[in-house]
Amino acid sequence: PAVDKQQLLDELRRQLPDLDVLHRTEELRPYECDGLSAYRTTPMLVVLPRHLEEVQTLLRLCHAHRVPVVARGAGTGLS
């Protein structure tokens, strides 16, 4: 079953109130692809953790909700 985006967003905000979470369409557009833009897909959410504990909690939460996670570096796609 697909996870409800709003439910996940609410839980993220509850567990990690200081976490930067991008969820509006205009915020997500820069994350649709890397430097090689032949393939584009809009992510459900983009999170910008700053601390190890945020990453750990985020990964646990995504695992519990069966939400796939894609790590992103600089987004150049040139490595």
Q: pLDDT-based confidence at 61, cuts 50/70/90?
A: very high
Average pLDDT, the chain: 89
Residue range 52-78: average pLDDT?
A: 87
Distance from C-alpha of 13 to C-alpha of 21, rounded to nearest angstrom: 8
- The pLDDT of residue 72 is 83
Dihedral of CA atoms 14, 18, 24, 29 in degrees, nearest 10, equals -130
Residue range 17-40: average pLDDT?
A: 90
Q: What is the pTM of this model?
A: 0.81
pLDDT in tens, 36-45: 778 889 999 9
- The pLDDT of residue 75 is 65
